[in-house]
């Protein structure tokens, strides 16, 4: 208490004696003589010194004896391993109790016996059986039997309430959120006062005719979420866009304090259609931008190749009507007219002719 200077004293023992006031030993006992060692002379000083040493030794020895009693388990309770085993077998299922692993002193005549747990799914868990012995009793009794995890045991994660587990985007079309009376993003709305002008201004022009309205904290949180989201200036479409939403004809500014930074996109061709966008957002569907139209490349003039011809064998019309296959080796026909037969050259020496 003396080290904590900021806490005022709340007990008589916390008040430090001043140098001007006499101590308990120097106080007058009503007879005119003090109860100090100086009143009795050197003999009184020796008597008080011996008494103080005796009290100190007795207190020290008594403290050590108490610490030793707490450190060492009670002999009767520590030896009652069979009693602890019977107690844990009655509670556990067959085959779930292992060997005795140790005993720990919990207090004076109070010990805990540990048994290994063999149940599936409870690795590194232990059975704890607490035994106690009444003063001057010769037998121990069972206090409780519990299954406790060791520091190496596998534990389930800490339970989190449903209201804290749910995150934005988890709500389905048929889900309903619980009512939050202490929502920090909302504050008390405007209550009609009966004055027509004031109520009309607050209810209709300012839109405050609700039980609760958005608080400054709620507006700030919404603005940060929208600006840093997919419809802010850091989105991929905004980075690649050649113009921002501030100059787009499809941009509809919002009302209220957020008008200077946000609006709603009304372009059905934009990926942000129907969403809140920032003024410096952008996309490829801007009303005032256009693509670079490439000029068509001129094509060369068509070329008609009349220098050569290729013979095509076509079956005769009579063969098609009769349904017979064309005769191999028959005269070839080009188009609808037959091609003339080749003239054979006479045999003999070409030189003699």
**CA–CA dist 293, 89 (Å, integer):** 87
**CA–CA dist 118, 96 (Å, integer):** 4
CB 88 within 8 A of CB 145: yes
Cβ within 8 Å of residue 219, ≥6 positions away? 257, 258
Kindly report the length of the chain. Answer: 353
At residue 149 the predicted structure's pLDDT band, cuts being 50, 70 and 90, is very high
State residue 64's pLDDT score. 46
**Range of lowest pLDDT (118-127, 131-140, 278-287, 290-299):** 290-299
Structure tokens belonging to residue 300 = 């060369």
**CA–CA dist 43, 159 (Å, integer):** 71
State residue 243's pLDDT score. 92
Largest CA distance in the chain: 183
Residue 344 has pLDDT above 80, yes or no: no
**CA–CA dist 142, 131 (Å, integer):** 5
pLDDT average, residue stretch 301-318: 77
In order of 233, 314, 319, 337, 343, the CA distances from 311 in angstroms are 69, 10, 20, 12, 17
- The residues spanned by each domain of the chain are 75-149, 228-278
Main-chain dihedrals φ then ψ at residue 75, nearest 5 degrees: -65, -40
What are the tens digits of pLDDT across the range 189-230? 776 777 777 777 776 656 666 778 788 899 899 999 999 999
Residue 327 has pLDDT above 70, yes or no: no
C-alpha count within 13 angstroms, C-beta hemisphere, residue 191: 2
Q: What is the mean pLDDT of the chain?
A: 75
State residue 46's pLDDT score. 47
Residue 233 has pLDDT above 80, yes or no: yes
Residue 127 has pLDDT above 70, yes or no: yes
State residue 21's pLDDT score. 44
What are the tens digits of pLDDT across the range 82-92? 999 999 999 99
More confidently predicted of 293 and 284? 284
What are the tens digits of pLDDT across the range 95-112? 999 999 999 999 999 999
pLDDT average, residue stretch 156-180: 81
Residue 326 has pLDDT above 70, yes or no: no
At residue 55 the predicted structure's pLDDT band, cuts being 50, 70 and 90, is very low
At residue 180 the predicted structure's pLDDT band, cuts being 50, 70 and 90, is confident
State residue 330's pLDDT score. 52
State residue 206's pLDDT score. 64
What are the tens digits of pLDDT across the range 5-38? 343 333 334 444 444 444 444 444 444 444 444 4
Q: What percent of the chain has pLDDT over 70?
A: 67
**CA–CA dist 213, 254 (Å, integer):** 16
What are the tens digits of pLDDT across the range 235-291? 999 999 989 999 999 999 998 788 899 999 999 999 999 999 999 999 999 999 887
State residue 337's pLDDT score. 46
């Amino acid at each position: 208490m003396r080290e904590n200077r900021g806490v005022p004293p709340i007990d008589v023992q916390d008040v430090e004696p001043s140098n001007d006031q006499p101590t308990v030993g120097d106080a007058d006992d009503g007879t005119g003589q003090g109860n100090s060692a100086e009143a009795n002379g050197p003999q009184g000083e020796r008597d008080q010194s011996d008494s103080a040493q005796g009290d100190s030794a007795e207190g020290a020895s008594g403290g050590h004896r108490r610490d030793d009693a707490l450190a060492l388990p009670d002999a009767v309770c520590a030896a009652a391993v069979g009693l602890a085993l019977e107690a844990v077998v009655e509670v556990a299922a067959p085959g779930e109790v292992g060997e005795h692993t140790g005993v720990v002193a919990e207090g004076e005549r109070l010990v805990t016996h540990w048994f290994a747990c063999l149940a599936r799914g409870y690795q590194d868990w232990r059975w704890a059986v607490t035994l106690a012995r009444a003063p001057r009793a010769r037998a121990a009794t069972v206090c409780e039997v519990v299954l406790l995890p060791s520091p190496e045991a596998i534990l389930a994660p800490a339970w989190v309430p449903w209201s804290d587990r749910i995150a934005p985007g988890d709500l389905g079309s048929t889900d309903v959120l619980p009512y939050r009376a202490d929502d920090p993003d909302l504050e008390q709305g405007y209550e009609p006062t009966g004055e027509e002008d004031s109520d009309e201004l607050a209810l209709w022009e300012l839109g405050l005719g609700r039980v609760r309205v958005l608080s400054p904290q709620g507006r700030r949180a919404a603005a940060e979420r929208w600006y840093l989201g997919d419809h802010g200036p850091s989105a991929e479409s905004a980075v690649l866009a050649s113009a921002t939403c501030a100059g787009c004809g499809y941009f509809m500014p919002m009302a209220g304090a957020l008008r200077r930074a946000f609006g709603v996109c009304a372009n059905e061709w934009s990926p942000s259609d129907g969403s809140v966008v920032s003024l410096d957002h952008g996309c490829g569907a801007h009303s005032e931008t256009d693509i670079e139209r490439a000029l068509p490349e001129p094509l060369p003039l068509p070329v008609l190749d009349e220098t050569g011809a290729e013979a095509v064998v076509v079956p005769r019309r009579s063969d098609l009507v009769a349904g017979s296959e064309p005769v191999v080796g028959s005269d070839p026909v080009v188009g609808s007219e037959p091609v003339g037969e080749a003239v054979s050259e006479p045999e003999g020496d070409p030189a003699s002719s």
